[in-house]
Amino acid sequence: MNQKVTEWIDSHKDELVTDVKKLCSIPSVLADAEGDAPFGPECKKALNTAIDMAAGYGFATKNYDNYVGTADLDPSLPHTLDMLGHTDVVPAGEGWTVTEPFHVIEKDGRLYGRGTSDDKGPLLCALYAMRALKETKTPLTKGVRLIMGSDEETGSIDITKYYAVEKEAPMTFSPDAEFPLINIEKGQFRGTLSKKLTASDKKPALLSLDAGIALNAVPQKAKLVFSGLDFNAEDVKFAIASVEKDCQVSCEIDAETETITIIGESAHASTPELGKNAGLAGVLLCNRLPLAECEQTKLLKEVEILFPYGVTDGSGIGINMKDEESGAVTCTLDLYHVTAEEMSFSFDARTPLCAGEDNCVKVAKDHVEKAGFDWSTPGLVEPHAVSADSPFVKTLLKAYSDVTGLEGKAVAIGGGTYVHDLKNGVAFGAVLPDVDTHMHGADEFMDIDNLVIATKVFAEAIEQLCR
């Protein structure tokens, strides 16, 4: 390890924290394009703030039409290593208790706020690693570039634009996940089951059910509106209490407006078992309430069969499978919209290397259509894998172990990162093992010590790969 670099990073911790607070205060959630802001003005602002930070620290920067920004440590050196992060974030969501999502605070050694761990904090760790090497005049013979995108959470159109005009570096890592290193990212399979309904005038009835704010996040809140439901009836009280107990959620009742709001717990779609799915709890509640039978209630019962509460292996739609290298399917129903005239539900599944059109897409379609729903899907996104035995992966893992003293090993995950479509790309940090930062959920945080350690790991990795 480079002692000068380590000392520089320690002495600039407060500056790093200040920059993280500044960048995370910008609500850079996807919005409609406006002028030269392809993902909305806030996404443009966050991207340009990060670019300006890099330029202010003396790096050669470039703005690719407000889609992507880059910072090169030394543009005269051969382009060898890319670090790929993003400045956009998922919607704020509800359920925050420590602070408001875009008012970042420091508490008990942690920074709380949307983007602190996904991915503004880690992106700035990569920038500060470059800055540490630059300001300590550490000699390198190969070039390193920080790529800053602004649409990772909602389609990665930014990176498509970037790689249309720029070549992949021989090596790329993204500080957009967890340490030690992710060399396999499962495939992604999404689908929507929907149905136009014949409205019924029978009561009591469900007027609407809505849940979910993003397809890649377990819904934390569901709102149900009824007509003609007697909230004082014992069978209604029993149904509500049973769902609260069985699903470990809470139900807020407004008898005057005949509304029930269910509060669960969000989680990333790649780890749905960590959440409490408020949308599915809402479906279960409807199925237990004494609602008048109609086409709507019949299909809601089918939803419960296709996506049983607490079951996240895709078995309800027939796609439960696994392999030794990449693990098992995860599947979660995350978007819900039900009225008297229509219903639609969308799921997000993460699929192992063994999944394909025949054993996954066609099987799910068959189950959904047999249940009486219409079916649509964008298809299966292929998984991504880089050999764990490659010199690139081994060098990154050595850097991680040298800095942290922890075991370095390559793992497979269900989440997707920017490197999913890059030939020699892996996800490398920045969250330390066994730390749940509530990524995509309420009270997202990043430990300040984690930020410092990640910066040291990145600096060590750059030096070992590019010296």
Q: Which pair of structure tokens corresponds to residue 191?
A: 């689908």
CB 375 within 8 A of CB 192: yes
Q: Is 158 a catalytic residue?
A: no
Sign of the torsion formed by the C-alpha atoms of 274, 278, 284 and 288: positive
| 114 contacts 101 by C-beta, under 8 angstroms | yes
* Pairing label, strands 430-431, 177-178: parallel
Query: DSSP class of residue 361?
Result: I
Considering the candidates 152, 185, 265, 334, report the single residue annotated as catalytic. Answer: 152
Exposed (0-12), middle (13-18) or buried (19+): which is 208, by Cβ within 10 Å?
middle
Please identify which of the residues 72, 88, 153, 185 carries the catalytic annotation: 88
Contact present, 113 and 119 (Cβ < 8 Å): no
Q: Is 334 a catalytic residue?
A: no
Burial of 223 (0-12, 13-18, 19+ CB in 10 A): middle
Helices (H) and strands (E) in the chain, counts: 11, 24
SS3 state at 86: strand
Q: Determine the 3-state secondary structure of 273 from DSSP.
A: helix
The two three-digit tokens of residue 162, written as one number: 């970037």
- The DSSP bridge pattern shows strands 79-86 and 171-174 to be parallel
37 strand-pairing partners: 34
Residues annotated as part of the active site: 88, 152
